[in-house]
Chains A and B, each alone.
Chain A
């Protein structure tokens, strides 16, 4: 178990190191997220809808689009010089390989969210300090779930034509159930409701995470093995 964990971290570390050294996808995903926030600001009538009502939708639409863009990266980097064949030949199980890629993706999307969240608060002048612990937990749970599906799918779409368009088409239907609950939970949190009110949403997100992480781990070998 300990060895497996070390291998997972090694693979994730490789991806993150690559990202830290080039910074291209991280930067572009973060800029993309910020641009969505800016577009949202101009796409609303501030006198008609208060920011606290619109806030949850803005936040989650931004997060989901930025996450899709970020996840396209995961297996794209492996295409050059047939790097993925090398990774497949590595003496690790497919489960470890998937979990390593998954972990790197979660970290990557969380970094993008960490950049977008303060700017979201800043741009929309929101006072959400009271909601922050719950919001961070919701972000973590929702991200953990749809990144699991996204990592599996990005391993597939990278082998198709129009890969960049294929991922959102396949992934967005899978992002909707966690998104529905995440938005609902965020609305409650912004309204300073007690944690017991949001327990249902968090339970749903946890269930989604458990089911789809397990399923993706199981199906990954069917994707990569001839």
Chain B
């Protein structure tokens, strides 16, 4: 038992290390964004937030949320507690990245769109995703029985994944204000090389942070599970 707790601690330490690395990386990205990349001609300095906003959005929507849903689906099939711990950790990281997206977005939107908030399609979708992730956390916190908690949160996560296309369909009824894709599109990315490089470094750093967060939370979750089973015994 003590050895297990030791391994949980080792995982947490590793997670903290990776998180630190990611944070340093984000610092470097900010320096690059200010010192290295050219100023965008239409948006001016406001565009600089793009190097934080886009990596966070990419990590939340394309990595963290699919990973959570996939782990949850596998959990319902295999009933392996490791999958549940991973799903919980990944959902929490996804909520953090969604929070970053939803707070950096308005800062950029105020000078560019002239309003802190609009009901633009992608914005609304991210908001709903954020609420789903908060609901997921609230549900986890409200259940004592670990097996029930794992099953219920896996069900919510699978339902949430299916809901996303429906939200997408319904919120895109309104015109979108978001800039069109500039990197992931059929033709070559339409960005100066300095901007593209900084953006890619930003995405890499966000991914490192994600791995750090998930590792850390996984370790904490493992320690919690060990304590719960020790208490139950």
Contact = CB atoms under 8 A, between A and B. Distances in A.
Given A156-B155, A180-B173, A169 B138 contact: yes
A57 to B, nearest CB: 15
16 contacts: A156-B155, A161-B143, A166-B138, A170-B156, A172-B131, A173-B128, A173-B131, A173-B167, A177-B169, A180-B173, A212-B162, A222-B76, A222-B151, A222-B154, A223-B151, A223-B155
Interface in A167-221: 169-170, 172-174, 176-177, 180-181, 184, 204, 208, 211-212, 215, 219
B155 A204 contact: no
A159 B142 CA distance: 9
Interface string B114-153: 0000000000000010011011001100110101100110
A184 B159 contact: no
Interface string A132-176: 000000000000000001001100110111100010011011101
A226 interface: yes
Contacts of A169: 134-135, 138
A170 B156 CA distance: 8
Given A166-B138, A204-B170, A159 B158 contact: no
Contact of A223 (B134, B138, B152, B167): B152
B171 interface: yes
Given A169-B135, A173-B132, A219 B142 contact: no
B173 A184 contact: yes
Contacts of B166: 177, 208, 211
Given A180-B170, A204-B169, A166 B151 contact: no
Contact of A156 (B138, B139, B147): B139
Contacts of B158: 215, 219
Q: 6 tightest A-B contacts by CB?
A: A160-B142, A177-B166, A177-B170, A180-B170, A161-B142, A156-B152
Interface of B: 76, 128, 131-132, 134-135, 138-139, 142-143, 145, 147-148, 151-152, 154-156, 158-160, 162-163, 166-167, 169-171, 173
Q: Label chain A's interface by main secondary structure.
A: helix
Nearest to B156: A170
Interface residues of A, number: 29
Contacts of B159: 149, 152, 174, 212, 215, 219
Contacts of B128: 173, 176
Contacts of A223: 151-152, 155
B144 to A, nearest CB: 8
Contact of B167 (A177, A215, A222): A177
A152 B138 contact: no
Interface string A106-136: 0000000000000000000000000000000
A43 to B, nearest CB: 21
Contacts of A211: 162, 166
Contacts of B138: 166, 169-170
A219 B75 CA distance: 13
A137 B43 CA distance: 48
A176 B170 contact: yes
Contacts of B151: 222-223
Given A157-B139, A160-B152, 13 more contacts: A161-B143, A170-B139, A173-B131, A174-B159, A174-B163, A176-B167, A180-B173, A212-B159, A212-B162, A215-B158, A219-B159, A222-B76, A223-B151
